[in-house]
C-alpha cells in the first residue's frame, strides 16, 4: 500500500475525462499536466464496453470527438487517429459521419496512449472517497482509496465515471444470474452457452434494448427473444436539424441561465432526441429483420408493444413475468430463462457523488456553470462533475456533443486555480 499525491485526480477514463486530459495536456502548463492523474478501474479503455457489437454505430458525428470543437488543430482528433492508422482515405470513402462504435472506442484508447504528460492508472478501482480538512475545519482537498489499498490525495477531484444502472424495483427479487443490465451485457452474455435453447426477454424500447435484442437473435441461433415495449411501438430518435441545435455547446449557456421550470420543460420535450428512441437506420434494419423472421416463421423474435412488467418471480428455475397489456388491462404470465434490461440509468446523482457530498456536509448538490460543486467560499479543494448535470446544463451533458467545450471550461478553471496557488507559493 502506498500514499500518493496528485494535483488533479479524475475518477474514470471514459470520453469525458479523456477530453479533459487532452485539454490539460495542451493547456500550456507542463506542471498542471504532470500533476494530473486519471483512474480507470478496467485494464484498458473501452467505450460502452458491454455494447461493443461489431455492427453498432455511434449516433454522434465524429467531428464531435474529444477535441475538434475546442481546437480543430489538436493532435488528439479522430481524423488524426485515422491518419495515424492509415485509414483516413477509406473512412472518407465510407461517406458517413457515424463511425462504428468499436472504431471510436479504439480512438479513445489511442488518445490515452498518446498522452505524454497526463498519467492514467489502470486497474485502479476507487472504493472510498473522503474530503480532507485542515486544523481549522476548512476543506482542503480529497482522498481516494483504491481497491488495492493505495490512497491518493489531491486538491481538485473530477468525477466522470457515469451514472448508476437503473434496475426497476419489479426485478429486485430475481437472482443476479437471471438479470443482465445493458451495462454488463457483453460480459455476462459471453458466459451463456451459444447452442442452448435460451428464452430471453428484453425490457425497454430504446437503443440499448434494441441492440441487445438484435445481438441475442444473431448470436444465439437456438434461442428465442421477446422485446417488451411499454410505448405504442419503437420510435426513431428525433433528428430534426432545428432540434439538434439544442445540442450545440453554445446552448449550454442559454439552458443554464433559464428558470428551473423552463429547463425541466425543455428536457421533457427533448426526451426523444436521446432517451426513448432508436437511430433511424438501425430501426429500419431491425424492422427488416423482424419481417424476415415472420417470412421464415421460426418464432424466434417478437416485439410486444403496449406491454409492461407488473411482477417478476422465479419458479422451478424459470423467471415468470406478469405482463399487463396496456390496451386491455389483461395480465398474463410469460416464462423465460433470462431478463435483459435496457432500462437506462438512474437519473439521480451517482451514489459516489451523493456519498461524497454528504460527507462534505452538503444538503444538496449545486453545480456552477463550469461544472464545479458549490462547496462554500472558504473551500480550498474543488470537486467537478462530468456527465451528470442534465438538469442544469442540458440533455447533451451526458453525451459526446459537448465534451470538447466542457473540457475547455473545466481546464480553464483548473489552470486558473493552479496559477493562483503557484502565485501564493512564490510570495
Sign of torsion, CA 67 58 205 343? negative
CA atoms within 13 A on the CB side of 60: 17
- Asked if residue 367 lies in contact with residue 382, where contact means CB atoms within 8 angstroms, the answer is no
Q: How far apart are CA 343 and CA 208, in angstroms?
A: 8
| Residue 310 grid coordinates | 407488473
In what helix (H) or strand (E) does residue 408 lie, and over which residues does it extend?
Answer: helix 403-426
Per-residue pLDDT band at 422 (split at 50, 70, 90): low
Per-residue burial over 216-250, b if 16 or more Cβ lie within 10 Å, else e, is bbeebeebbbbbbbbeeebbebbeeeeeeebbbbe
Inter-helix orientation angle 15-25/403-426, to 10°: 50
Write the pLDDT tens digit of every residue in 2-15: 889 999 999 999 99
Backbone φ and ψ of 124, nearest 5°:
-125, 85
Residue 61 confidence class, pLDDT cut points 50, 70, 90: very high
Phi, psi angle pair for 206, to nearest 5°: -115, -170
Q: List CB contacts of 391: < 8 A, sequence separation 6 or more.
A: 263, 264, 267
The pLDDT tens digits for 350-397 are 999 999 999 999 999 999 999 999 998 888 999 999 999 999 999 889
Q: Class for domain 169-237+274-341, per CATH?
A: alpha beta
Highest mean pLDDT among 74-78, 342-346, 399-403: 74-78
Identify the pLDDT of residue 7.
Answer: 95
In 3-state terms the chain splits into helix, strand, coil percentages (rounded to 5) of: 35, 25, 40
Cell triple for 328: 386491455
- Determine if residue 391 is left, alpha or beta; phi over 0 gives left, psi from -120 to 50 gives alpha, anything else beta: alpha
Which strand (E) or helix (H) includes residue 426? helix 403-426
Q: Which CATH superfamily is domain 3-164+346-426 in?
A: FAD/NAD(P)-binding domain (3.50.50.60)
Confirm if 367 and 392 have CB atoms less than 8 A apart.
yes
pLDDT, residue 59, reads 87
* Topology agreement, domain 3-164+346-426 and domain 169-237+274-341: yes
pLDDT at 103: 97
- Domain limits, the chain: 3-164+346-426, 169-237+274-341
The confidence score (pLDDT) of residue 242 equals 86
pLDDT band at 268 (very low <50, low <70, confident <90, very high): confident
- At residue 299 the predicted structure's pLDDT band, cuts being 50, 70 and 90, is confident
Q: Which pTM value belongs to this model?
A: 0.94
Average pLDDT value for residue range 274-300: 89
Helices 207-219 and 280-296 pack at an angle, to 10 degrees, of 40
**CA angle, 281 as apex, 206 and 101 as ends, to 5°?**
75
Which of 59-73, 229-243, 263-277 bottoms out in mean pLDDT, i.e. has the lowest? 263-277
Report pLDDT for 155.
96
pLDDT mean across residues, the chain? 93
Helices (H), 203-327: 207-219, 241-244, 251-257, 260-269, 280-296
The three three-digit cell numbers of residue 383, written as one number: 470537486
Rounded CA-CA distance 237/78 in Å is 24
Q: Is 66 helix (H, G, I), strand (E, B) or coil?
A: coil
Amino acid at each position: 500500500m502506498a500514499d500518493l499525491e496528485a494535483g488533479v485526480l479524475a475518477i474514470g477514463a471514459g470520453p469525458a475525462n479523456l477530453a479533459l486530459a487532452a485539454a490539460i495536456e495542451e493547456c500550456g502548463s507542463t506542471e498542471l499536466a504532470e500533476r494530473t492523474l486519471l483512474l480507470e478501474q478496467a485494464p484498458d479503455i473501452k467505450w460502452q464496453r458491454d455494447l461493443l457489437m461489431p455492427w453498432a454505430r455511434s449516433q454522434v458525428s465524429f467531428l464531435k470527438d474529444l477535441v475538434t470543437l475546442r481546437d480543430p488543430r489538436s493532435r488528439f482528433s479522430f481524423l488524426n487517429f485515422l491518419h495515424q492508422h492509415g485509414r483516413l482515405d477509406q473512412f472518407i470513402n465510407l461517406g458517413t459521419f457515424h463511425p462504428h462504435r468499436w472504431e471510436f472506442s479504439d480512438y479513445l484508447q489511442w488518445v490515452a496512449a498518446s498522452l505524454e504528460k497526463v498519467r492514467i492508472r489502470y486497474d485502479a478501482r476507487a472504493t472510498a472517497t473522503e474530503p480532507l480538512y485542515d486544523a481549522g475545519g476548512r476543506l482542503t482537498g480529497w482522498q481516494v482509496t483504491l481497491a488495492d489499498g493505495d490512497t491518493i490525495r489531491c486538491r481538485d477531484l473530477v468525477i466522470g465515471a457515469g451514472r448508476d444502472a437503473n434496475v426497476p424495483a419489479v426485478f429486485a427479487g430475481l437472482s443476479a444470474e437471471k438479470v443482465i443490465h445493458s451495462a454488463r451485457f457483453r460480459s455476462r452474455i459471453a458466459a451463456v452457452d451459444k447452442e442452448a435453447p435460451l428464452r430471453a426477454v428484453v425490457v425497454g424500447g430504446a437503443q440499448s434494448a434494441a441492440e441487445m435484442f438484435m445481438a441475442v437473435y444473431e448470436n444465439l441461433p437456438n434461442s428465442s427473444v421477446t422485446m417488451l415495449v411499454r410505448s405504442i411501438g419503437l420510435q426513431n430518435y428525433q433528428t430534426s436539424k432545428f432540434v439538434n441545435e439544442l445540442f450545440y455547446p453554445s446552448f449550454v449557456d442559454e439552458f443554464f441561465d433559464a428558470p428551473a421550470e423552463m429547463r425541466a420543460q425543455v428536457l421533457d420535450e427533448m426526451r426523444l432526441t436521446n432517451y426513448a428512441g432508436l437511430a433511424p437506420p438501425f430501426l429500419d434494419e431491425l424492422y427488416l429483420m423482424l419481417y424476415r423472421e415472420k417470412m421464415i416463421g421460426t418464432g424466434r423474435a417478437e416485439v410486444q408493444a403496449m406491454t409492461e412488467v407488473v411482477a417478476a418471480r422465479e419458479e422451478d428455475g424459470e423467471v415468470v413475468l406478469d405482463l399487463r397489456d396496456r390496451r386491455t388491462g389483461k395480465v398474463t404470465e410469460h416464462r423465460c430463462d433470462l431478463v435483459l434490461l435496457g432500462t437506462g440509468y438512474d437519473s439521480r446523482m451517482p451514489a459516489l457523488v451523493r456519498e461524497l457530498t454528504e460527507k462534505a456536509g452538503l444538503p444538496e448538490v449545486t453545480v456552477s456553470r463550469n461544472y464545479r460543486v458549490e462547496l462554500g467560499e472558504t473551500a480550498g479543494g474543488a470537486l467537478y462533475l462530468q456527465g451528470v448535470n442534465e438538469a442544469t446544463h442540458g440533455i447533451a451533458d451526458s453525451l459526446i456533443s459537448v465534451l470538447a467545450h466542457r473540457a475547455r471550461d473545466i481546464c480553464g478553471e483548473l489552470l486558473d486555480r493552479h496559477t493562483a496557488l503557484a502565485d501564493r507559493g512564490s510570495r
